[in-house]
Amino acid sequence: MTKQNKGSEKLWGGRFEEATASSVEEFTASIHYDSRLYKYDIAGSKAHAAMLAEQGILNNEELSDIIAGLSSIEKEIESGTFEFKRELEDIHMNIEKALVDKIGPAGAKLHSARSRNDQIALDLKLYLRDQCDRFTELIDDTQRSCVTLARQYLGNIMPGYTHMQRAQPVLISHHMLAYFEMFQRDKERIADCRKRINISPLGSAALAGTGLPIKRETVADSLGFDGVTANSMDSSGDRDFAIEFVNCCAMIQLHLSRISEELVLWSSQEFSFVNIADKFCTGSSIMPQKKNPDIPELIRGKSGRVIGSLMSLFTLMKGLPLTYNRDLQEDKEPVFDAVDTASASLAIMAELLGNMQFDTERMREATQTGFITATDLADYLVLKDVPFRDAHGIVGRAVVYCLSKECELEDLKLEELQQISPVIEEDVYDVLSVEGSVNSRVSTGGTGISRVEEAVRKAENQLGML
């Protein structure tokens, strides 16, 4: 029975009479990307071993050998001296094999009551839990940059757009705080997703649980989980939590992409609303005059990548029967790529916004044309008891009249306005000015300065900036 067979260099080699083909080793290996989970794999193994010792499956000496062995492996990995082996497939077997080599038979007991199926689910959850906390901080930084600009430019006016046409004047600060709100929802989404990440799958074993006398709750507790999953078959093949997290990344990237699109437009000569610092732009190899907004363009471009990762995961999962299937190994790369891309984009956006100035004069000027206070004139008529639909028509005719005279609404004389509607009086000019328009919009959530000032303060407070 002690006869060694050809497959025996593998931890699972007992059943095999032939060595694995090297093409198969190459095709199945995940160590070149899942090595980044080492810290979580080791933490999970330590907690698992401690529980096994409490349950009498390991003795105290075995436990301390395992803990010491795992700690020294962790140090080797961190110092770059650990040799990852492709033929050991993944992070779990690389670490376990190194442990057995280091401490002997005690190391071989570690995998009792555990499978790589629940182990990888655990590692990924621990990793993503950390990412939830890291992303929350990264979003905070980007929000701080938005709020800093909102504070700095409080009172400055710009055109607000619908359909990319000048629509109504708004405060620059109001515009920046719109992004603050989007990022706020991103943080809420992450906090919600974290709740489902923070339930331990360990102890589900391969798929059906284990007959060994384990205590799942103890391990979960010591790893900081809020509880344990309820169904072993569900948890060995569940990746909903990964999809949810990548969805959070996709939403973040989408928001970053929208702000990027605006920065690209605003930094064009046609708009010239913002000046992005030289150190955040790049030049052209052929056109000497160019200063290109490559950072926002790349962020916008990378949104395709993150949304693509989300689609990969959906497609990966949609046809999988219960429980673990090797397909699941394909979850890691999209998850890691989404994490890397969205976190790098958040960080650089926070920095870029801190290196940018608005051209407030130019933005104010852009509100002077385009009949941007037409809605205010209609609202004025409503206050004079004209039904809104009639008011809309009256102002429409006033705009046509201005177009024929090549002037703006506020250039019209009172008599001209009165010909359009007799209810118009001298006070109409208060609403025809852009300041008057902005300041009148004090409905909750509106762009009136008093509302925006309140919103800036609230945001600063939430971000601990006061």
Interface ranges with ligand ARG (CB under 6 A)? 30, 34, 90, 116-117, 120, 324, 326, 328-329
Cα 5 to chain centroid distance, Å, stands at 49
Q: Which is nearer to ligand ARG, 33 or 271 (CB)?
A: 33
276: three-class secondary structure by DSSP: strand
Q: How many residues make up the chain in this entry?
A: 466
Q: Which is nearer to ligand ARG, 170 or 339 (CB)?
A: 339
Min dist CB 128 to ligand ARG, Å, is 14
Min dist CB 118 to ligand ARG, Å, is 10
Q: Which is nearer to ligand ARG, 179 or 245 (CB)?
A: 245
Cβ–Cβ under 8 Å, residues 44 and 126: yes
Query: Among this protein's residues, is 200 annotated catalytic?
Result: no
CB atoms within 10 A of CB 56: 8
337: three-class secondary structure by DSSP: helix
Cα–Cα distance for residue pair 159/148, rounded to 1 Å: 20
Q: Is 242 exposed, middle or buried (0-12, 13-18, 19+ CB in 10 A)?
A: buried
Q: Which is nearer to ligand ARG, 206 or 423 (CB)?
A: 206
DSSP characters over 156-191? -EEEEEETTEEEEEEEHHHHHHHHHHHHHHHHHHHH
Min dist CB 200 to ligand ARG, Å, is 17
For the record, the structure tokens of 137 come out as: 């901080």
- For the chain, the maximum distance between any two Cα atoms, rounded to a whole number of angstroms, is 109
Cα–Cα distance for residue pair 388/360, rounded to 1 Å: 33
Selecting among 8, 268, 272, 284, the annotated active-site residue is 284
Min dist CB 314 to ligand ARG, Å, is 17
Min dist CB 202 to ligand ARG, Å, is 14
Q: Which is nearer to ligand ARG, 237 or 293 (CB)?
A: 237
Q: Which is nearer to ligand ARG, 34 or 96 (CB)?
A: 34
Backbone φ and ψ of 163, nearest 5° = 55, 25
Selecting among 163, 285, 404, 443, the annotated active-site residue is 163
Min dist CB 31 to ligand ARG, Å, is 9
Query: Among this protein's residues, is 48 annotated catalytic?
Result: no
Cα 391 to chain centroid distance, Å, stands at 44
Give the residues across from 282 on adjacent strands: 292
Catalytic residues, by residue number, are: 163, 284
